Amino acid sequence: MELIKDFIFGGFPCRAAFYNKEELFPSDTALFVADGNTASLITRSGDAPEIILTPGEAHKQWSAIDRILQLAMNKGLARDSVICGAGGGVVTDMTAFAGSLYMRGCRVILIPTSLLAMVDAALGGKTGIDAGVYKNMIGSFYPAEEVRICPEILQSLPEQEYWAGMGEVLKTAILGDWEMMDLIRNNKEAVKARDPEILKELIRRCILVKGNLVEEDLREKGRRAYLNLGHTFGHALEAVSEFHWAHGLAVVWGMGKALDASVALGLADAPWAEEVKALFRDFGYTLDADESPDAMLQAMQMDKKKKGGRLRYIIPAGPQDIRIEFLEPDFVLEILKK
């Protein structure tokens, strides 16, 4: 085990640490949750009961939570029993949600297996399921007591999922660790080749940025909202495309829109914004979408990040310089049409 950091999220201790592949599985696991793609990645010991979920966002539904809770009850798990979830953000969000409900909260250990879950979803206590097309509508704040990370496991991640996760890495670099952007820029080929050393360093830095923001603001009353950079635009694209756009790829597109908005508002320097967008394109990200701007604007009206009826946008004004702006619908429509 190699400690990244011991955090306290709203009074809950949460350890983030690197583990070797052979040591990833917690020996005191009482119930193991994974999906059909991730279960075989984890070397298990003992005879803990397990639930293997159908992979994919479409299955991030109450029926999965019900299965976990039923099995926990049937097996007589106690409040101090460990439910261990190993998978991408869908599995880690649902395992932690079920754990938050079982006996009003049992022990939860997460093993993120996608890059997105390692750098974002598994850390920070947001848990939940979707309701129809509306993502994460039902959930809780319930940090896992430990997040165990093994970058080696990323080698089997499908290409699109890898780049979806790298989108969140780029987001984290812009909002909280500009040195990491230089590291990425100077190691483009290693990043493309999934070099384990560079990945480990990027994951460590992302965990520190996110963890520190969550420590100061678990319930997103303040600066935690910076982590939503690219998300208000991105969620609208995901919804209107009926989730044909993967979350992380939609977030990168959304960051492109947030940069455009920032320049139009007179906040970011145009050359800086173009330089960041050029790096996105260089990695193969698409900053153009065919979806209807009007439909996307409408989808934003359902966004959870509305405050007092107005929509909040996270706007990058420069490296590690983030503003929260309330934008008029007409202005947003112009940006969407660009």
Ligand X SMILES: NC(=O)c1ccc[n+]([C@@H]2O[C@H](COP(=O)([O-])OP(=O)(O)OC[C@H]3O[C@@H](n4cnc5c(N)ncnc54)[C@H](O)[C@@H]3O)[C@@H](O)[C@H]2O)c1
Contacts with ligand X, residue ranges (CB under 6 A)? 35, 37-38, 41, 55-57, 60, 87-91, 93, 113-114, 116-117, 120-121, 124, 126, 135-136, 153-154, 156-158, 161, 164, 247
| Per-residue burial over 96-118, b = 16 or more CB atoms within 10 Å of its CB, e = otherwise | bbbbbbbeeebbbbbbbbbbbbb
The β-bridge partners of 6 are 15
Whole-number Å distance between alpha carbons of 173 and 171:
5
- Of the two residues 45 and 54, which places its CB atom closer to ligand X in the complex? 54
Give the shortest CB-119-to-ligand X separation in angstroms: 9
Between β-strands 310-318 and 321-326, what pairing exists: parallel, antiparallel or unpaired? antiparallel
Residue type for position 78: A
Phi, psi angle pair for 204, to nearest 5°: -60, -45
- Of the two residues 304 and 338, which places its CB atom closer to ligand X in the complex? 304
- Of the two residues 65 and 117, which places its CB atom closer to ligand X in the complex? 117
Phi, psi angle pair for 144, to nearest 5°: -65, 150
- Of the two residues 35 and 303, which places its CB atom closer to ligand X in the complex? 35
Give the shortest CB-24-to-ligand X separation in angstroms: 12
Give the shortest CB-219-to-ligand X separation in angstroms: 12
Give the shortest CB-297-to-ligand X separation in angstroms: 22
Rg (CA), the chain: 19
Q: Do 33 and 68 form a contact (C-beta atoms < 8 A)?
A: yes
Give the shortest CB-209-to-ligand X separation in angstroms: 13
Counting every residue written for the chain, the total comes to: 338
Give the shortest CB-165-to-ligand X separation in angstroms: 7
Give the shortest CB-186-to-ligand X separation in angstroms: 26
The torsion defined by the Cα of 232, 65, 209 and 151, in degrees rounded to 10, comes to -120
- Of the two residues 87 and 176, which places its CB atom closer to ligand X in the complex? 87
Q: How many helices (H) and strands (E) does the chain have?
A: 12, 12
- Of the two residues 180 and 227, which places its CB atom closer to ligand X in the complex? 227
Give the shortest CB-176-to-ligand X separation in angstroms: 15
Report DSSP state, residue 189: H
- Of the two residues 81 and 113, which places its CB atom closer to ligand X in the complex? 113
Q: Do 36 and 51 form a contact (C-beta atoms < 8 A)?
A: no
Give the shortest CB-259-to-ligand X separation in angstroms: 20
**Which residue is nearest to ligand X, using beta carbons?**
89
- Of the two residues 136 and 212, which places its CB atom closer to ligand X in the complex? 136
Would you give the end-to-end CA distance of the chain in angstroms? 48
- Of the two residues 52 and 183, which places its CB atom closer to ligand X in the complex? 52
Whole-number Å distance between alpha carbons of 330 and 207:
36
- Contacts for 283-286: CB closer than 8 Å, 24+ residues apart: 283/163, 283/166, 283/188, 283/191, 283/192, 284/163, 285/163, 285/167, 285/249, 285/252, 285/253, 286/249, 286/253
